[in-house]
Copies of this chain bind each other. A is one copy, B any other.
Amino acid sequence: MDIASVSNPRIKRLVALRDRRERDREGVFVVEGIRELERAVSAGLRPLEIYYDPGRFPGPPVPADVALSVAPDGMDRASYRRRSQGVIGIFARFDMDLDHLAPPPSPLYLLAESIEKPGNLGALLRTADAVGAAGLIVTDTGADPFSPNVIRSSTGALFSIPVAVATLDRAVTWLRGHDIKIFAADPGAADVLWSVDLTGPCAIVAGSEHAGLSDRARSAADSLVRIPMHGEGDSLNVSVSMAVLAYEALRQRRPHS
């Protein structure tokens, strides 16, 4: 089926979905880009619709039964990106409730407080994916995990890593209920990361860029962990801190250590 005209109602709606309120109203999110769409589909998500410009995307994309070809100007109008790769998928939002997380044996969770910037949340998802985390829990977040910026900067990791959004209290209760120890990154901690045992079930907690670790997270932690800082600065980017701590956990957990 071809939809050549920008005035076509479906293209009009696709363009309208650039607006968060419209996406919220429909309960959908938008995935743009070849790699991101492939990762969403290979993670088992089924698109409601896919729009593609055959001049840029030799289609039809999979699954073909929901694919609609679009004229170049319609694609450009609907695209978030400066240089569109010619394919956009629409998906129903999935649930990010804590109860959907199913901890494997000796899970490694990442818990980030108060992430405001979509780029930081996307980078965290990439880190969580790289370390093979059992999931990423975000508390009191201002960033919408379904925003196009998060999907883009996560390079699609949003689809491969279980994500939960919760209050800190609920997250702590959930972790305790699953016997998962809480290690919080704190520049004032006595113990450095290399001297704590991260081989058991654990959650690594990092505070926000601006406020640092909250007092409530600090008191909820089973253990505070310090990443040594050797320069003038007093903090690392949150996804950098998480990666340094998570790779130390992987080092400790590797066979023949």
- Would A132 and B194 be within 8 Å (CB), given that A126-B236, A127-B236 are in contact? no
Inter-subunit contact B233/A243 (CB<8 Å): no
Closest chain-B Cβ to A232's Cβ sits at a distance in Å of 4
Asked whether, in the complex, the Cβ of A230 is within 8 Å of the Cβ of B194, the reply is: no
Q: Which of A15-23, A66-74, A90-98, A155-163 contacts B (4 or more CB under 8 A)?
A: A155-163
Asked if A240 and B194 make an inter-chain contact with CB atoms under 8 angstroms apart, the answer reads no
Q: Are the C-beta atoms of A236 and B231 separated by less than 8 Å?
A: no
- A194-B233 contact, Cβ under 8 Å, with A123-B240, A239-B240: no
User: Shortest CB–CB separation between residue A202 and chain B, in angstroms?
Assistant: 16
Residue of B at shortest CB range from A229?
B130
Nearest CB on B from A112, distance (A): 14
Q: What copy number does this chain have within its complex?
A: 2
C-alpha gap A132/B193 in the complex (Å)? 17
Please report the C-alpha to C-alpha distance between residue A68 and residue B227 in the assembled complex, in whole angstroms.
40
A side interface size, CB within 8 A: 39
Binary per-residue interface labels of chain A (217-236) against chain B in the complex, 1 for a CB within 8 Å, 0 otherwise: 00000000001111111001
**What chain B residues lie within 8 Å of A243 (beta carbons)?**
236, 240, 243-244
Q: Is A77 an interface residue (CB 8 A)?
A: no
CA distance A42 to B159 in the complex (A): 45
Report how far A170 CA is from B78 CA in the complex, Å.
46
Chain A interface helix/strand/loop/mixed:
helix
User: Do B231 and A157 touch across chains, with their CB atoms under 8 A apart?
Assistant: yes
User: In the docked arrangement, what's the CA distance between A126 and B126, Å?
Assistant: 19
B194 near A232: Cβ-Cβ < 8 Å: no
Within 8 A of B (CB), among A37-79: 39, 42-43
Q: How close is A207's CB to chain B, nearest CB, in angstroms?
A: 16
Q: Chain B interface: which of A5-13, A80-88, A139-147, A246-254? A: A246-254
For A32, the chain B residues whose CB sits under 8 A away are none
Report A102-129 CB contacts with B as 1/0, cut-off 8 Å.
Answer: 0000000000000000010001001111
Given the interface contacts A126-B233, A233-B126, does A228 sit within 8 Å of B250 by beta carbon? yes
CB pair A130–B236 under 8 Å, yes or no, is yes
